Structure 1
Amino acid sequence: MSKRYDSDKVRDLVHRIYRAYGFTEEQSAEVAKTLVYTDLHGIASHGVQRMVMYDHFIQNGKIRVNSRPEIVKETDVSAVVDANFGLGQLNGIYSMNLAIKKAKAHGVGIVTTKRSGHYGIAGYYANMAADQGLIGMSSTNSRPAMLPTHATQAFVGTNPIAFAMPAEPHNFIYDAATSTVPQGKIEVYRKLEKDLPAFWVAKDGDQEINDHNDTEDLDALRDPLSNVGLTPLGGVREETGSHKGFGLAVIVEVFTSILSLGNTSTEITPEDLQVGPCQSFIAIDPAIFGDVDQIIKRFSEYLQQIRDLPAIPGKKIYVAGDKEAIAYEDRKQNGLEIDDKTLAEVKAIADRLGVSYGALDMA
């Protein structure tokens, strides 16, 4: 069951929890901002729901509180960053800010980051660039979760691709895993005891799992050597485009792990403290192509033409970012939706760290 909670109160609690871990005031504020931003935009899979995973990694040393990212190779338009196993959100903010700085100076900035951590939603970093009038892109690899087309064992991560660009009435933000759904969405469905839609998860390459009570099989999602995995975009068959989602996931590997000489998805495990995911951050100044105001105006008009197309009865046409903007207005006014199990996890972390959590409801 989910209830509504005041976003400012939740952000304050998250802030105080990360201060208790030993992060600085500024770092804790940034982490709290990213997690609450995610829930405010209706993406429950990657908001405070992820705190229990980060807590586990902080406790076992996979996330190192005192680590700082450093540039290990750099040109005017590019950089490779070693994140030194710091918290993924902090690495992402550092790396995208670096890409933005290069784009403003030279038109393009491309940063690839290795030995990082789970950084939440890729769209947050792409939108950092869009908020400054630039085009932004970000991707990350992750531990094996997706079944390549025709394979019976997971090999690549969910490997999302995010793209953001300034537009009216709000930024265009596309953020999607190259698997049918991210791992976090499966976790949310299990917490809510909801059955899974067809072909989110498959066994032996093509047998669908759509029952949240398939505990043994769903637990096997965390084991890359099992015969259970998330399906690529397009499902499990070439006829429906499975190879397209898988192909996009491999492209993400190029921009994250291959160019940085970091760990590929298949090398990442929760237990090995010496490996971590890799990420990419790209910022492009549209001014290198022409008048920025005219470019944004033309793009905004194009998006509106899509929204205005005839729709099937009872449906509305959205472009990327529309639903998130609607969710933001709702949750800012009426509170975040947090399920009971996630709230219990956050409260348990607060209790262990000696952080008071008080009343978080909308009162």
Structure 2
Amino acid sequence: MIKRYDSDKIKQLVFNIYQAYGFSETQSHKVAEMLIYTDLHGIESHGVQRLVMYDHFIQNGKIRVHSQPEIVKETDVSAVVDAKFGLGQLNGIYSMNLAIEKAKQHGIGIVTTRDSGHYGIAGYYADMAAQQGLIGMSSCNSRPAMLPTHATKAFVGTNPIAFAMPAKPHTFIFDAATTTVPQGKIEVYNKLEKDLPALWVAKNGNEPVYDHTQTEDFKALRDPDATVGLAPLGGVSENTGSHKGFGLGIIVEVFTSILSMGNISTEITPEDLSVGPCQSFTAIDPAIFGDKEQIINRFSRYLQDIRELPAIPGKTIYVHGDKEAAAYADRKKNGIEIDDRTLEEIESIASRLNIDYTNYVA
């Protein structure tokens, strides 16, 4: 069952949990802010649902609480950051702030980061740039999840791409895995014991998996040697465009692991403490192309023209960021959505850390 919870109270609980791990007050605030931002925008797969995974990584040492990111190569417009296995959200915020600083000084900033951790939604970091009046982009590689076109084993990560640009009445944000859905969405459906509604998972290259009771197939998604994986954007056939999602996943690999000389997807495993995922962060000042206000206004008019196109009866035309803005308004007023199993996971973590959670989840 899914219930609503006050976002400020859950944010405080997350803050308390990260302070109990040993993160500083500032770091704990940043992590809590980012995770609740995610749930407030209706992306439950990557919000507090991820706390249990991060808890596991903190306990086994894959996330190192006291690590600090280090710049290992830098120019006026670029940098390579060694994240030293710190928490992904903190590495992401650090790296995007670095890209933003370079963009403000030189018009563009591109930072690629290696040996990081799972950093949540890519869109958060792209939006950081947009909130500063810049165009933002971010991407991340991950352990193998995607079935390359015609392959029977996963090789490419879910490798999301995010883009954000200032617009009116709200920021345009595109954030999507290059697989049909991210791994976290499969986890949410499994927690809710719901069948998958479309071809999100396939085995043996092209056999769809829908039934939530096929537990062995879903467990095998974490096994790099299994013949089960996530479908690329476009499904599992060239006729439906699977090669497009596959190609986009490779492009993400270039901007994350290849340029940073970090780990490619096949080198990342959840238990190997010596490897971590890679990320990229780009900020661009529209002013290097012309009058910034005119550019943003023109883009805003373009988006509004799309919204006002004739629509299929009973349907609304949305552009990217519309649904997230509506979700934010709803969840800020009525609470974020958390399923019972995720709540149990959060309560278990809090109990182990001697945190009284009762007042936060009432």
Task: Provide the C-alpha distance between the structure 2 equivalents of 1:356 and 1:173, rounded to a whole number of angstroms.
Answer: 36
1:112 is paired with a residue whose SS is strand
Task: Provide the C-alpha distance between the structure 1 equivalents of 2:260 and 2:100, rounded to a whole number of angstroms.
Answer: 19
**Residue identity in the other structure for 1:332:** K
1:162 is paired with a residue whose SS is strand
* Alignment pair present for 1:351 and 2:351: yes
Corresponding position of 2:222: 222
**Residue identity in the other structure for 2:99:** A
* Alignment pair present for 1:39 and 2:49: no
Task: Provide the C-alpha distance between the structure 2 equivalents of 1:317 and 1:235, rounded to a whole number of angstroms.
Answer: 24
**Residue identity in the other structure for 2:350:** A
Q: How does 1:295-306 map to 2 (within 5 A)?
A: 295-306=295-306
Deviations 1:32-52 (CA, angstroms, capped at 9, x unpaired)? 000000000000000000000
Corresponding position of 1:339: 339
Q: How does 1:198-347 map to 2 (within 5 A)?
A: 198-347=198-347
TM-superposed deviation, 1:199: 1.1
**Residue identity in the other structure for 2:155:** F
Corresponding position of 1:186: 186
* Alignment pair present for 1:141 and 2:141: yes
**Residue identity in the other structure for 1:169:** P
Corresponding position of 2:62: 62
Corresponding position of 1:84: 84
Deviations 1:55-88 (CA, angstroms, capped at 9, x unpaired)? 0000000000000000000000000000000000
Task: Provide the C-alpha distance between the structure 2 equivalents of 1:47 and 1:324, rounded to a whole number of angstroms.
Answer: 14
Deviations 1:195-237 (CA, angstroms, capped at 9, x unpaired)? 0022100000000000111100000000011000000000000
**Residue identity in the other structure for 1:123:** G
Task: Provide the C-alpha distance between the structure 2 equivalents of 1:199 and 1:141, rounded to a whole number of angstroms.
Answer: 22
Percent identical residues: 78
Task: Provide the C-alpha distance between the structure 2 equivalents of 1:25 and 1:358, rounded to a whole number of angstroms.
Answer: 22
C-alpha RMSD of matched pairs (Å): 0.6
TM-superposed deviation, 1:271: 1.1
TM-superposed deviation, 1:166: 0.1
1:202 is paired with a residue whose SS is strand
Q: How does 1:119-138 map to 2 (within 5 A)?
A: 119-138=119-138
TM-superposed deviation, 1:327: 0.3
Task: Provide the C-alpha distance between the structure 2 equivalents of 1:110 and 1:198, rounded to a whole number of angstroms.
Answer: 36
Deviations 1:214-271 (CA, angstroms, capped at 9, x unpaired)? 1000000000110000000000000000000000000000000000000000100011
**Residue identity in the other structure for 1:294:** Q
2:73 is paired with a residue whose SS is strand
Task: Provide the C-alpha distance between the structure 1 equivalents of 2:228 and 2:196, rounded to a whole number of angstroms.
Answer: 14
Corresponding position of 2:161: 161
2:314 is paired with a residue whose SS is coil
Task: Provide the C-alpha distance between the structure 1 equivalents of 2:291 and 2:358, rounded to a whole number of angstroms.
Answer: 51
Mind listing any 5+ residue stretches in structure 1 that lack a counterpart? none
**Residue identity in the other structure for 1:283:** A
Task: Provide the C-alpha distance between the structure 2 equivalents of 1:220 and 1:27, rounded to a whole number of angstroms.
Answer: 34
Q: How many residues align?
A: 362
**Residue identity in the other structure for 2:291:** D
TM-superposed deviation, 1:104: 0.2
Task: Provide the C-alpha distance between the structure 2 equivalents of 1:197 and 1:286, rounded to a whole number of angstroms.
Answer: 40
Deviations 1:83-124 (CA, angstroms, capped at 9, x unpaired)? 000000000000000000000000000000000000000000
Task: Provide the C-alpha distance between the structure 2 equivalents of 1:270 and 1:190, rounded to a whole number of angstroms.
Answer: 20
Mind listing any 5+ residue stretches in structure 2 that lack a counterpart? none
Task: Provide the C-alpha distance between the structure 1 equivalents of 2:326 and 2:194, rounded to a whole number of angstroms.
Answer: 24
TM-superposed deviation, 1:359: 2.9
Task: Provide the C-alpha distance between the structure 2 equivalents of 1:356 and 1:274, rounded to a whole number of angstroms.
Answer: 34
**Residue identity in the other structure for 1:23:** F
Deviations 1:309-340 (CA, angstroms, capped at 9, x unpaired)? 00001100000000000000000000000000
Task: Provide the C-alpha distance between the structure 2 equivalents of 1:117 and 1:46, rounded to a whole number of angstroms.
Answer: 13
**Residue identity in the other structure for 1:113:** T
2:331 is paired with a residue whose SS is helix
TM-superposed deviation, 1:360: 3.2
Task: Provide the C-alpha distance between the structure 1 equivalents of 2:41 and 2:4, rounded to a whole number of angstroms.
Answer: 14
Task: Provide the C-alpha distance between the structure 2 equivalents of 1:198 and 1:318, rounded to a whole number of angstroms.
Answer: 21
Task: Provide the C-alpha distance between the structure 1 equivalents of 2:125 and 2:5, rounded to a whole number of angstroms.
Answer: 25
Task: Provide the C-alpha distance between the structure 1 equivalents of 2:52 and 2:279, rounded to a whole number of angstroms.
Answer: 22
Task: Provide the C-alpha distance between the structure 2 equivalents of 1:360 and 1:342, rounded to a whole number of angstroms.
Answer: 14
**Residue identity in the other structure for 1:250:** I
TM-superposed deviation, 1:6: 0.1
Task: Provide the C-alpha distance between the structure 2 equivalents of 1:324 and 1:360, rounded to a whole number of angstroms.
Answer: 25
2:138 is paired with a residue whose SS is strand
Corresponding position of 1:118: 118
TM-superposed deviation, 1:356: 1.0
TM-superposed deviation, 1:358: 1.9
**Segment drifting more, 352-361 vs 313-322:** 352-361
